[in-house]
Structure 1
Amino acid sequence: MRGTDRPQPPTPPTPLESRLGYLLKHAQAAFARASAEALAPHGVDGHELAVLVVLAGDEPLSQVEAAARLGVDRTTMVALIDGLEDHGLVRRRRSPQDRRKNIVELTEAGRKCLHAAEEARRAAERSFLAALDEETAATLVHALRILVTGDASPPAHTL
């Protein structure tokens, strides 16, 4: 064996690797990269996929209502909807009840994209969490959900 071929001992953890903020930041960055790679073939990013998910609900939503559900400002929402509309994934129409509102709905292409991209996202998530056993991965996701939403009940549904 040459000197560079020898197995290297594991690098000891740095003091930062015991800090929650450091770990969350780096885990999120790694997952964001994995998700971006998984979604790229579908022509959407994570933000656009989130818009498609929200718009796929049972009730029609205005841009403002969708923005509120996503926790984004109106300007950001308009840009997201414009991009999705340019790609033929959503369409706007005037609300019959309030002509000042734009209802945004998925097109057939948007529904197909949503389902394919969600499948890719779930596969990326499973791959990212593969180092954890199934119970630990589920516990992690549940714990993070509680921290983010304050709601300890299981989610109502998943796509």
Structure 2
Amino acid sequence: MNERDDCPAPMPLVESLPFRLGVLGTLVTDQLVARLKSHDLKPKHVGLMTLLSAKAPASQLELARIMGVAPSLIVTLADHLAELGVVQRERDPDDRRRQLLTLSDRGQDLLTECAMASAALDAELTADLTPDETAALRTGLRKLAARTGAPVADG
């Protein structure tokens, strides 16, 4: 008897969580990107704005660590957001070599608009679910996120 004989028969690929979540993630991301396009933003821009809303001022290096991305990506995202007037850069008074980022008032307003667009998409996605199913989905996704090291919001 080999190891394969002890394993249950695999489920069809399209029923597996990695496949299902991957396909749904791509489709939902595309829908979110379409809603953010009018603001000249992508989800990573909104992610950075969200972080700055909760943790500003913050250095570009610190933000890169939190987001798990290369510092050069934070610079690129921040450049674009600064052009839009939603992020401000200032020198760290304690270390003049560091740039600190803060979200401007315009940035906070734009972040609110993005949150409303996301909430509308959220409502569309869960329209056919009962409140209990929606709550269970949120709980399950929060647990999966925590297990994989992805950011987890309180709730």
Task: Give the TM-score taking structure 1 as reference length.
Answer: 0.80
Alignment-derived partner of residue 61 in structure 2: 64
Alignment-derived partner of residue 134 in structure 1: 131
**Contact 1:34 / 1:128 at 8 angstroms: preserved in 2?**
no
Residue by residue, what CA displacement relative to the aligned partner does 1:1-30 show, whole Å, maximum 9, x if unpaired? xxxxxxxxxxxxxx3321222111111011
Alignment-derived partner of residue 34 in structure 2: 37
Letter in 1 for 2:64: A
Structure number with higher relative contact order (C-alpha < 8 Å, ≥ 6 residues apart): 1
Alignment-derived partner of residue 121 in structure 1: 118
Unaligned runs of 5+ in 1: 1-14
Q: Does 1:156 align with 2:147?
A: no
Distance 1:134 1:41 in 2: 31
Structure-2 change in CA distance of 1:23 and 1:113 (3 Å): same
**Contact 1:91 / 1:104 at 8 angstroms: preserved in 2?**
yes
Alignment-derived partner of residue 106 in structure 2: 109
Residue by residue, what CA displacement relative to the aligned partner does 1:29-71 show, whole Å, maximum 9, x if unpaired? 1111221122222221111001100001154211111112211
Distance 1:77 1:132 in 2: 37
Letter in 2 for 1:112: D
Q: Which runs of 4+ in 1 moved over 2 A?
A: 154-157
Moved more, 129-138 or 92-101: 129-138
Alignment-derived partner of residue 44 in structure 2: 47
**Contact 1:42 / 1:116 at 8 angstroms: preserved in 2?**
no
Secondary structure of 1:156's aligned partner: coil
1:128, distance to aligned residue in structure 2 (A):
1.6
Q: Does 1:145 align with 2:150?
A: no
Residue by residue, what CA displacement relative to the aligned partner does 1:77-120 show, whole Å, maximum 9, x if unpaired? 11111111111110110011111211101122111111111111
More helix per residue: 2
Alignment-derived partner of residue 4 in structure 1: none
Alignment-derived partner of residue 71 in structure 2: 74
Task: Give the TM-score taking structure 2 as reference length.
Answer: 0.82
Unaligned runs of 5+ in 2: 1-11
Q: Does 1:92 align with 2:64?
A: no
Alignment-derived partner of residue 83 in structure 1: 80
What is the number of equivalent residue pairs in this alignment?
Answer: 142
Distance 2:78 2:55 in 1: 19
